[in-house]
Amino acid sequence: MSDGRRTTIDGVSVPCDHLIDGERVGGGELYAVRSPVDGSHLGDIPDGNAAVVDSAVAAARRAFPEWAALGPDGRGDILDRFAQAILDRAQDLVMVDTADNGSVRAAMLHVGTGRSAHNVKFFADLARTLEHPPIEGPVADNSVRYDPSGVAALIVPWNAPLMLGTWKIGPALAAGCAVVVKPPEWAPFSLSLLGEIATEAGLPPGVLNIVHGVGERTGAALVSHPDVDRISFTGSPDTARAIAMAAARNLTPLSFELGGKSPFIVFDDADLELAVRTAAAQFMNAGQVCLAGTRLLVQDTIADRFTDALRDATSKLVVGDPRVEGTNIGPLIHPEHFERVAGFVERALASGAKPLVGGKPSALGGSWFEPTILTGVEQSSEIVQQEVFGPVLTLQTFSTEDEVIELANGTEYGLAATLFTGDEARAERVAAQIVAGTVWINCFYVRDLAAPFGGSRRSGVGREGGIWSFDFFCDVKNVAVRRSSFTS
């Protein structure tokens, strides 16, 4: 039970308040957070106001000079301890994350915490070796510096708070920024616990600050703050527009990773078994994955075989309690989001779509929704054009390469695409023509941290990952020295 400052979630004691300058502080009216798994009361979180945000940004500003002055090696030593501490507390983080947002516990134990630690360790290591080759000009020699930019505001979504939080925190801290993190209001506790882990690992006070609250109040105060130097946001295009307008007043640089409506293309020369197995994996995290290939585009010559095999594979997915071994699909995050997903499906069915599988809420009740595949959909329909963010796929067929490229590019999004074919030349041709930040060929969800990541069109602004993260979180400076200008 919550004691006003801490709460206990599945046996794990978790701080509830803001983390500012190394101290837990209140500030703002409390609101209740409930688990999507069983509706239980997890604890009360303060809805941070402008004064709280001011305090957090000021703490980050004070801590920044010393943190930046440590250099990549000094910061890296501390971040290495932080990464190891994440691994040491993996069980606790998984328990909290599952209760907080309904993620499947086995998947988090297998992948989630390891990836979260890697998000920190990788960028700490990269910062130690980061350098740009010298640029020799006709008059002067140029060298490139990656100088820490200052205070970074990091706004994290609710679908994978621990992994996506560390995806932002790792490179920002490695670059030398001090950060203010706003966890998602529907799933705040894993990042609140992460702040405690960072403090125990030796991160100096004020370098990592956490402010809780809802986007319209806490988030708005953070992104409009004049002392914030960078804003990294993952979420919806509508929220991104509001952030961009607020940031424009201060000319604050932005990095946005937004929604997706990604195509999943299967040609008739593909490894059908692999393609079907991967298509069924698009239901992971109850479909609450921006990268998911939710638009299945299957060549008509294999459509019947693919459809039969996918129906069979989907029928074997276990919808249930994410805390139980063997569960594949847990609940949607919140009753409000459940109603949104259900509304998309209801409208699609009313417009003539046919359920290959699913198409309705699960018999489990609560916020569970059956894995759903809809056929008979038009390219212009809402269900094809808009991000549902639930366990809902559509299936369309195509005849030619040109046709599938037109279908794949036929939305306002451009986050990712997945392509299955046995023809290497075709894979290269199609990948070159698809509008997307990432194209996977005969694989899915391969995220090398050295590679750039981001979206095109409504799916994002900018790229992070690898050196692109440092391009964003640093002030990239050129130093030009005239040859033979020094006598000693």
Instruction: Tell which residue, 16, 40, 323, 338, has the closest CA to residue 185.
Output: 16
What span, in angstroms and rounded, lies between the C-alpha atoms of 67 and 124?
A: 13
What span, in angstroms and rounded, lies between the C-alpha atoms of 473 and 149?
A: 6
Q: What is the DSSP letter of 110?
A: I
Burial of 461 (0-12, 13-18, 19+ CB in 10 A): middle
The one catalytic residue among 16, 177, 290, 474? 290
What span, in angstroms and rounded, lies between the C-alpha atoms of 428 and 426?
A: 5
Give me the residues paired with residue 402 across strands: none
Q: Residue 256 corresponds to which tokens in the numbers above?
A: 């946005």
Neighbours of 350 (CB within 10 A): 8
Neighbours of 227 (CB within 10 A): 15
Instruction: Tell which residue, 176, 61, 60, has the closest CA to residue 474.
Output: 176
What span, in angstroms and rounded, lies between the C-alpha atoms of 74 and 438?
A: 33
Asked about 257 being catalytic, the answer comes back as yes
- 285 dihedral zone (left: phi>0; alpha: psi -120 to 50; beta): left
Catalytic residue numbers, as ranges: 257, 290
